[in-house]
Amino acid sequence: MAAAKKAVLGPLVGAVDQGTSSTRFLVFNSKTAELLSHHQVEIKQEFPKEGWVEQDPKEILQSVYECIEKTCEKLGELNIDISNIKAIGVSNQRETTVVWDKLTGEPLYNAVVWLDLRTQSTVETLSKRIPGNNNFVKSKTGLPLSTYFSAVKLRWLLDNVGQVQKAVEEDRALFGTIDAWLIWSLTGGPNGGVHCTDVTNASRTMLFNIHSLEWDNELCKFFEIPMKILPNVRSSSEIYGLMKAGALEGVPISGCLGDQSAALVGQMCFQDGQAKNTYGTGCFLLCNTGRKCVFSEHGLLTTVAYKLGRDKPVYYALEGSVAIAGAVIRWLRDNLGIIKSSEEIEKLAKEVGTSYGCYFVPAFSGLYAPYWEPSARGIICGLTQFTNKCHIAFAALEAVCFQTREILDAMNRDCGIPLSHLQVDGGMTSNKILMQLQADILYIPVVKPSMPETTALGAAMAAGAAEGVGVWSLEPDDLSAVTMERFEPQINAEESGIRYSTWKKAVMKSMGWVTTQSAESGDPSIFCSLPLGFFIVSSMVMLIGARYISGQLLFN
């Protein structure tokens, strides 16, 4: 019997989407932007001490290979020839810090994840060395001094991990964010791997001058980081190297964007003033500010949006960053056990349709924008005898929406022109209750693309458009029209405002829980007995309907 004829679809482009919670590989048709196939693998997170968050770089790399192989198998089952894949783009969780041995390819420590808080005392010490009238760190990087960014994580590794210190002394150490680790490994590792990053990821290290687009000598001296371990900085769209193993050996890796920049590109926010909000592990609102740096007066970051080619101009963005969005759902699943899968949260919330006055501030890693308050910790407040797990599930979804409103309000104040609608993407946008809540709490329409994988799409677009590949046109007339789902506000503005003001009261109560000493020692005496320093502030002494048994909190 003759073999089935392979489908002819024209040039295809693959995208690695390496996030905090999972790794995926997706393949798109470069002419229609249609998603043809994908595979996903969940990534473990390790919490060795209170406030510490780590991942295994080798597990992350292996998950990329696995996703590529499985996706290629699925394409084969669809009779799609993988030889049509002409390029691969990389999108990644930003700031997460890896140091590895360039001779062996072995990581010298776990990846220190962007959510990690262990460097708070380092941040406080360094902040005392910045003149009050000359915050050169913020003026050069667009970033506040925070545990969030790579420089202080790298400083901690240099100070505390003997293997890292020794490798630096012996000129064996390489540093990178996840994109750099993956590109180096995929292009050969110890055997000629390309050590590079792109401008969007470099702009999240706190070592990169976003004006000159170079590693900054003054910043490296300030953080005491040896420049020899830093990757070469490239544009977001050019051929970095070729895949050296696996089903796609020989295919160029030609796109690289930090995940939030990738989503901005995937949402086609190429015009000054266009914005998108991505709901993943965290929540990130980016507004394209064109070719000018706009510095926020309301707690937002200034960051590089993209540079789509070596000779193309750089574009900037204002960003509102929320640490905990989808992560709160994972926490309800893994730590409290009140749901068995992330999808169950919508069912629980739907049962009650309200939080019944219960408010959840999931400040597990302190508060990011617009507060930048590392002393905050999570609280649930407004509990009564009537409160059950359904109300807490609903409150968790509301928390994501309230946090988005806070950063949207800050964005509107900085830009001067309020957004008339919000473009959204990310895994959580499949939750219709969340999307409707978001429209109600913002009191503007929320617009969701029918194909929500815009982060991977952005990486694929950058890869396909690269010089030497040229299979994806980014000209406005050539971009595919995207079908959208629209959620309109269904409550009145007064009710929306009341709920938001009550949330703000809860946020104030979450602050000031942790001192530097207690946060770093992991001293449990400063926390309630719940995991992750989680606090329940109740209007009652006892929550009826919950019982504490054998160290587990169980909700009836």
Residue 396 corresponds to which tokens in the numbers above?
């968790």
Q: How much is the pTM?
A: 0.84
My answer on whether 232 and 374 are in the same domain is no
In a domain, residue 363? The reply is yes
In a domain, residue 555? The reply is no
In a domain, residue 103? The reply is yes
**343: Cα separation from own chain's centroid:** 20
Q: Which of 202, 236, 255 is the last residue before a domain boundary? A: 255
Q: Mean pLDDT of residues grouped by 10 in the chain (556 residues)?
A: 57 95 93 91 92 95 96 93 94 96 96 92 87 82 91 95 94 96 96 96 96 96 94 97 92 95 91 88 89 89 94 94 85 88 85 87 88 88 91 92 91 82 87 91 88 90 93 77 82 82 91 64 39 39 34 35
Residue 209 corresponds to which tokens in the numbers above?
């001058």
Domain count, the chain: 2
**φ/ψ (deg, to 5) at 190:** -60, -20
Q: What is the C-alpha to C-alpha distance for residues 442 and 497, in angstroms, rounded to an integer?
A: 9
DSSP characters over 121-173: HHHHHHHTTS-TT--HHHHHHS--S-TTSHHHHHHHHHHH-HHHHHHHHTT-E
Q: How many helices (H) and strands (E) does the chain have?
A: 16, 26
Q: What is the C-alpha to C-alpha distance for residues 426 and 277, in angstroms, rounded to an integer?
A: 8
Going 268 to 270 to 276 to 278, the CA torsion angle's sign is positive
My answer on whether 351 and 250 are in the same domain is no
Instruction: Evaluate the omega torsion of the peptide bond into residue 57 and state whether it is cis, within 30 degrees of 0.
Output: no
Predicted local distance difference test score (pLDDT) of residue 547: 33
Q: Which CA distances in Å does 83 have to 57, 64, 247, 251, 299?
A: 29, 19, 9, 9, 47
Q: Which CA distances in Å does 512 have to 358, 374, 446?
A: 21, 8, 34
In a domain, residue 105? The reply is yes
**φ/ψ (deg, to 5) at 40:** -135, 140
Predicted local distance difference test score (pLDDT) of residue 481: 66
In a domain, residue 480? The reply is no
In a domain, residue 463? The reply is no
My answer on whether 116 and 231 are in the same domain is yes
In a domain, residue 395? The reply is yes
Predicted local distance difference test score (pLDDT) of residue 31: 87
My answer on whether 126 and 209 are in the same domain is yes
My answer on whether 248 and 343 are in the same domain is no
**Residue among 211, 87, 42, 71 at smallest CA distance from 142:** 211
Q: Which residues pair with 276 in a beta bridge?
A: 286, 423
Q: Which domain holds residue 190?
A: 12-255
Predicted local distance difference test score (pLDDT) of residue 550: 31
My answer on whether 224 and 337 are in the same domain is no
Contact (Cβ atoms closer than 8 angstroms) between residue 282 and residue 322: yes
Going by their DSSP bridges, the two strands 214-215 and 232-234 should be labelled as: unpaired
